[in-house]
Amino acid sequence: MELSFFRKNFKDFDSTLIERIAATVSYSNNEIYFLLKKGFLFMLVVALNLTAQAQDIPEHISYTRIYDFLDELATDGYISLNSTVKPYSRLYIAQKLREARNNPALNTRQQADLIFFLNDYSLEINKLPDTKLTLARTDKFSLAAIQPAFHYCDSTLRARITPILGMDITSNQHGTIIKRWFGVELQLMINKNLSVYGSLRDISVDATHLKNLPVSAGLLARPAFLNDYPGYEYKESALGGDFSDSRGGIKYAWNWGSVGLVKDNVIWGDNYHGSNILSGRTPSFPMLTFHLNPAKWFEMQYFHGWLVSNVLDSTRYYVDNTGRKEYRMANKFIAANLFTFIPIRNLNLSIGNSIIYAEENIQPAYFIPIAFYKSEDHTLTKGLGIENQNSQVFMNISSRNLRHLHLYTSIYADEISWSRFLPNSKERNPISYKIGANLSNFPIENLSIDAEYTNTNIINYKHSVPVLTWASNGYNLGSYLGDNSAEIYLAMRYKPIRGLNLDLSYLNAKHGNEYMYDRAAIDNIISQPSLGNITWSNNTLAFNAQYEIINNAYAIINIAYSDIKGYNLTSTPIVGEIRKTAQGYLDLFTPPYLQGKNTTIMVGFSFGF
C-alpha cells in the first residue's frame, strides 16, 4: 500500500508517525497502513500526533480591546471568527492577527492596531516583543519598564510575567469611590503542548468619601443589583471592602483541541452588552474544560464546573473546640456543552445544553461531553419522588455573510413545553432571547454602530430549589437583568487613531414584577404578562474614552448620565409575587450610590487587566 493512501486519508498527521507506530507495536508498515484503514489504530495515531505545537492560555475577557478588534476584522471580512465562546486562547488570537496581517484592504488605523497587538502576542509566534526603556535584554529574555514585563523565550520554555496595578476614581453627587488593585500575572508555555498560567489581583474599595451614605454603599456589585459590574465576593471593611481575585490553570493542547483544569470566567453567546447565556460576570470558578476543533466546519466546547451555592447544608458542618457547629455550603455543579457548525464561511450555528446539579458527589454521567443532560437527569432521578436537577438548552446564530455587518441572536431556554407556544396558551415558557446587529466601517471609516434587544421571560434562570438556580456566588450566570426584564442597547464606537476608543451608548433597561419560584403557583405565575407592571427602570446615556498607551496599559474616562427609578404598584399581588414599595425595589436592584438621577464620572488607569 502506498504512502499516498495515508496522506489522502490522514492528511492532518505527520507521515513519520507510521514508522513510529510500527516501531512501537512491532508491526510492518503495510500492516500499519491496513490497520489505519480499518480504524483500529486511529486513537493511537491521535495520541502520538499530540506533539504538534499548540498552546492554550486564555486571554481574559477583561481585555475588551483585543476582542473588539478581532470582531471588527471578522465583521469587515478580513478573518473568519467564532465569537460565540470567549475567552479565546492567546495562540488563537495571534493566528487571527497574522491571518489579517497581509491584507492590503486594512485602513491606516487598523494596520497600526494590528502591529500594536501583534507585538503583545510575540511569544506565541516564538519571538520576544519589542519594548521601550529596556532594562536588560539578550536573545532569550527581556526585562522592560515599558511595557513593564519579563519575557523569556527558548526552544522549551516561553514565559511572561507582568505586574498588575490600577486605580479608578468614581464621583457623583453622592461622593467619591476609589478602587485600587495590584497583583501579578504569570504565563508559561512549556515545550509544544503544555500551558500553565495564573494571576492574582487584590482589589480594595475606599468609600470613606461618600456623603450621607455608609461605606457599604460603595460596593457597587451585589448579587441582586441589576448592573453589569463584575461580580465580587467582598470582605467588608471599615473603608468599604476588599476582594481577592485568583485565576489560572493548566492546559494540554494539540493542533485541534485542548483539555484543562482552570479557574476562570466564561462567556457563551454573541453580544456587545452582556450575554444572556453565560455572561462571565460571576466570580471565576474552577472547571474541567474540553475543546475540540477537528474540522473547519465544526467546533465543540465543554466544561464541568464547581459553583458556589451560597446555600448552607444542614447535614455538613465542622465542630470547633467550643462545640459550635460551623455549617458548610451545599455542593453545586454545572456541566455544559456547545456545538458550533459552520455550513458556509461566516455563518456559525451553535446549539448546546447544560445542567445545574447539587448532589453530594459529582455525577460521572455529566462528564460525558456530548450528552443531553436532561435525559441523563430523568434516568438518574426517576422514581425518587423528589425534585430533579435543573437543565437548560441554548442556541446562538452568528452571521457575517454581508461584509461590514454582523447579525446574531442567542436563545436560552430554562424549560420548554410545546403547548405553551400555542396562541391560546396564557402560560409562557421561561426563555431569554437576544437579537442584535453591528455595522462596522460602513459608510464611515473607523465608526461602528451596535443595536441590541434582550428579552427574558418570568422565572427564567430561577428554580424552586434555591441551590439549583442558574447562579454562582449568588450572581446570575446569564443576563445581568435576571428574569422578567427587557433591554435596548445602542452604541456608536469611533476609533480615530491607534489605541483610542471613543464610545457613546444609550441603555434602556426595565424589570417587571418580581416573583419567587413557587411550584404550587407556577402555572399562574408564568401566565402573567411578560414585564407586566414595571418595578424598576434604568435609562443611561454614557460616553467612554479609552486609550491603550502601551500594550496592557491604558487610561480611561467615563461620563454617564443615569436615571434609575423604582415604582409603586397598585395592582393586587398574586401568590408568589414579591411586592415592595418604589424605594424597596430601588434598594433591591440598585446600589444607593447610583439611585435616582446622577451624572457619574470615572477616571482610571491600569497596567495589566
Tell whether the model's pLDDT for residue 223 goes beyond 90. Answer: yes
- Determine the pLDDT at residue 31: 45
| Positive or negative: CA dihedral 206, 589, 486, 463 | positive
pLDDT (tens digit, 9 = 90+) per residue, 249-305?
A: 999 999 999 999 999 999 999 999 999 999 999 999 999 999 999 999 999 999 999
The one-letter amino acid at 490: L
The whole-angstrom separation of Cα 231 and Cα 182 is 18
Decide: 268 and 396 in contact? Cβ < 8 Å.
yes
User: What residue ranges of the chain are covered by domains with CATH 2.40.160.130?
Assistant: 64-607
> What's the angle, vertex CA 451, arms to CA 353 and CA 59, rounded to 5?
55
3-state secondary structure of 413: strand
Tell whether the model's pLDDT for residue 16 goes beyond 60. Answer: no
Tell how strand 596-607 and strand 157-172 pair up. antiparallel
- Determine the pLDDT at residue 196: 98
Name which of 24-38, 186-200, 467-481, 572-586 the model is least confident about: 24-38
Tell whether the model's pLDDT for residue 40 goes beyond 60. Answer: no
Task: Please state the rounded mean pLDDT for residues 232-256.
Answer: 93
Other Cβ atoms within 10 Å of 223 Cβ, number = 15
Tell whether the model's pLDDT for residue 584 goes beyond 50. Answer: yes
- Determine the pLDDT at residue 64: 94
Task: Please state the rounded mean pLDDT for residues 174-178.
Answer: 98
pLDDT band at 47 (very low <50, low <70, confident <90, very high): very low
Please, what's the b/e burial string for 441-452 (b: 16 or more CB within 10 A of its CB; e: otherwise)? beeeebbbebeb
- Mean pLDDT for all residues in the chain: 91
- Determine the pLDDT at residue 52: 54
Decide: 596 and 564 in contact? Cβ < 8 Å.
yes
Tell which wins on pLDDT, 362 or 15: 362
- Determine the pLDDT at residue 102: 85
pLDDT (tens digit, 9 = 90+) per residue, 426-472?
A: 999 999 999 999 999 999 999 999 999 999 999 999 999 999 999 99
Task: Please state the rounded mean pLDDT for residues 154-164.
Answer: 95
The whole-angstrom separation of Cα 207 and Cα 205 is 6
The whole-angstrom separation of Cα 342 and Cα 295 is 10
> What's the angle, vertex CA 59, arms to CA 77 and CA 349, rounded to 5?
45
Nearest to 227 by CA among 274, 180, 266: 274
Give the three cell numbers for residue 311. Answer: 446555600
Name which of 4-8, 187-191, 370-374, 601-605 the model is least confident about: 4-8
Tell whether the model's pLDDT for residue 45 goes beyond 60. Answer: no
pLDDT band at 350 (very low <50, low <70, confident <90, very high): very high
Could you tell me what percentage of the chain is helix, strand and coil, using 3-state DSSP and rounding each to the nearest 5?
A: 20, 45, 35
**Secondary element (H or E) of residue 585:** helix 582-589
Nearest to 368 by CA among 358, 378, 355, 382: 355
Tell which wins on pLDDT, 417 or 176: 176
Please, what's the b/e burial string for 154-183 (b: 16 or more CB within 10 A of its CB; e: otherwise)? eeeebbbebebbbebbbebebbbbbbbbbb
Task: Please state the rounded mean pLDDT for residues 148-170.
Answer: 95
Task: Please state the rounded mean pLDDT for residues 371-379.
Answer: 93
Decide: 566 and 589 in contact? Cβ < 8 Å.
yes
- Determine the pLDDT at residue 460: 96
- Determine the pLDDT at residue 455: 98
Residue 452's DSSP bridge partners are 436, 489
Q: Which fold has domain 64-607?
A: Porin (2.40.160)
pLDDT band at 15 (very low <50, low <70, confident <90, very high): very low
Cis peptide before 223 (omega within 30 of 0): no
Name which of 95-109, 297-311, 377-391, 433-447 the model is least confident about: 377-391
Cis peptide before 389 (omega within 30 of 0): no
Tell whether the model's pLDDT for residue 49 goes beyond 60. Answer: no
Tell whether the model's pLDDT for residue 2 goes beyond 80. Answer: no
Give the three cell numbers for residue 263. Answer: 479557574
Tell whether the model's pLDDT for residue 20 goes beyond 70. Answer: no
